[in-house]
Every structure is written in structure tokens, then in C-alpha cells.
Amino acid sequence: MSNKSKLSTESYKGVRDFYPEDMAIQNYIFEVWRKTAKSFGYVEYGASILEPAELYRTKSSEEIVNDQMFTFKDRGDREVALRPEMTPTLARMIAGKRKSIKFPLRWFSMPNLFRYEKPQRGRKREHWQLNCDVLGIVGIEAEVEILSLACSIMKAFGAKDKDFEIRVNDRGLFEEVFERVGGVSKSTKEMVIRLLDKQEKIDNFNEEMIRHLGHEKKELFLELLEKTKSTKRLDEIKGILISKGISNVVIDTKIARGFDYYTGMVFEVFDAHKDNNRSLFGGGRYDNLLEIFGVEPVPAVGFGMGDVTIRDFLETHNLQTCEK
């Protein structure tokens, strides 16, 4: 064959090949995820990587839907997506058997996810993700359980309290601030929260905030947000976690999470190391997601933890990456 006709040995941009030594590390991550989730009483479920694209258009992040979804038309002229996240799939599955399922549920999965992102440290176009969700519990014990599980997984990888920080916030806090600002539409609220979520990643944050809120409301919103340090529910959650020995939890009103389906507590786990000082994973409460399927909603709290950021964390902190 001529040089021009030779196929490249490179994988598709943004995905990874797993040679045996890489597969050993990947399997170790999966084993820690599975073992820890099961120790909390969670049971495993799964689903296809193919979903109708419309599943994500109502409640997912606008950035994911407009810029990051891999979509195509099948032979029946249906728009299909390679799933970019797992929570809408979980909601679809629960809604499908809503009347026959007994709550509360504790489910976990380790799906393969796809997003058309710019490949960089901590981000690929394909990754695996541990998803843990507890459904059917209204009280703060659900938040406490999910945050405790997230912390336990980090500890199972060998992390110490000083290695990571759990930052929590409450979407209700944003609603209180919007009420005090006054005259903010639902769609504008959603856009402002998305901007807050990616504040550190964009250069024109202030300009975009002014575009959606106007100068005066933007200034008032940020001022009130800075002054609002917590909520009663957040204080209760933090207090219970501290009583359980989880001391590396802080209330951070800048945490927003970009998905539109969050309705209450949201959180992100951050690497404390100066060489990898970034968000590792996160989640929160989403009580209304089942409404898009026309069924009675179910209270839910969950999180998604990606394999790429966890592997970076293990390498940064010189933690073992396979079982001895």
C-alpha cells in the first residue's frame, strides 16, 4: 500500500485505547466504585448508550445539548444520541415502571458516556462514570447519605481529608436571591445559573450577566449572593456530616451545577492539590425530573464521578492505581 492509502493507527480524537496495563488501572477504579456503592446498599443497573436525542433537550445542560451531543439520524429518520449523561436515562427507566416500583431505591451504574468536548486534562470525548442515586426520600438524610457515599469512595481510593474538599450549595438559595432582585423570568434564571456554573471558564462573565439581567440587577444579584452565606438546610447537612466525622465539607454559594433539573442541594468535590486544583465530580437533588414523562415526580439525590478525573487525582496524589 502507498503511504497515502495507509490507515492511521491513532484512535478517534478524545477517546482512549486501554492496553493491558491501562485496563488494570481502569478495572481497579471500577472495582472500588462497585464495592463501595454496594457497601451502602446500592444495586447496579444499566441501559443502552443510544437514546432518543429529545430525552436531553428539556432538562439537560444547554451546553451539552447544543454543543456536545453526538447525534445522528437512524434509518427510520429518528434523531439518536450517544448518551452524554446518565440521569435522564435513569429518570426514563423509573418513569416507565413508576407504579410498580417500591421506594426508596438505591441504584448505581457505571455507564460509558460521550461528549464532543475539547480534549484536555480531565476531559475526554468518551469516559466512564459512576452514577449513584437514592430515590424516594424527601428529607436531608438522602443528601447526607449521598455525600457520605461520595466521601467514602474517595477514602476507598486512599485519599485523606486534606486531599479533597466537598463544597455544597443549595439551588433554593439562588431562588431567594432572585426573589429579592425581582422581575427575573424562569428562562433568565436558568441562563444566570448556567453562567455561574462556568464562571471560571469564560472571559466575558460580567458582559453575559449584564446581557441577561441588565447592569443594575446584575450588580444587585451578585451583591446579595455574596452576602447570603448559607441556608438552614445546608447548615443542617453540614452539621450532620461533621458529626459523622466528615470535616472537609464547606458551604460555597458559588457552586451552581449547570444541569437544569437540580432543585435543591448541589455539590462538587474539589482536589486540594495545587497541581490539580479543580472539580473532580458532583451532583445534587433533582425532585422534578420525572415530570417530563407525565408521571408523578419522585424525590431524588445523586452524583456522577468520572474515571478520567479520578485517575488524574490518583496520579497527582501518588495513590496506588491497582490492587496489590
Q: Is 262 marked within a binding site?
A: yes
According to DSSP, the β-strands at 265-271 and 79-82 are unpaired
Q: Is 133 marked within a binding site?
A: yes
Q: Is 197 marked within a binding site?
A: no
Q: Is 87 marked within a binding site?
A: yes
For the segment 10-61, what is each residue's pLDDT rounded down to a tens digit? 988 999 999 999 999 999 999 999 999 999 999 999 999 999 999 988 766 5
Q: Is 261 marked within a binding site?
A: yes
* pLDDT for 127 beyond 90: yes
How far is it, in rounded angstroms, from Cα 4 to Cα 201?
40
Question: Which pLDDT value is given to residue 120?
Answer: 80
Average pLDDT over the chain, rounded to whole? 91
CA–CA distance from 178 to each of 118, 196, 264 (Å)?
33, 14, 15
121 band by pLDDT with thresholds 50, 70 and 90: confident
Identify the CATH assignment for 19-316 out of 3.30.930.10, 3.90.1150.50, 3.40.50.10800, 3.40.50.720: 3.30.930.10
Handedness of CA 45, 267, 256, 126 (dihedral sign): negative
Q: What is the distance between the terminal CA atoms of the chain, rounded to a whole angstrom?
A: 46
The closest of 78, 71, 19, 21 to 49, measured between CA atoms, is 71
Q: What does the domain layout of the chain look like in residue ranges?
A: 19-316
Question: Which pLDDT value is given to residue 264?
Answer: 93
Q: Is 316 marked within a binding site?
A: no
Q: Is 129 marked within a binding site?
A: yes
Give the global pTM.
Answer: 0.90
The closest of 247, 281, 282, 246 to 262, measured between CA atoms, is 282
Lowest mean pLDDT among 157-161, 171-175, 199-203, 208-212: 199-203
* pLDDT for 99 beyond 90: no
For the segment 9-19, what is each residue's pLDDT rounded down to a tens digit? 998 899 999 99
* pLDDT for 324 beyond 80: no
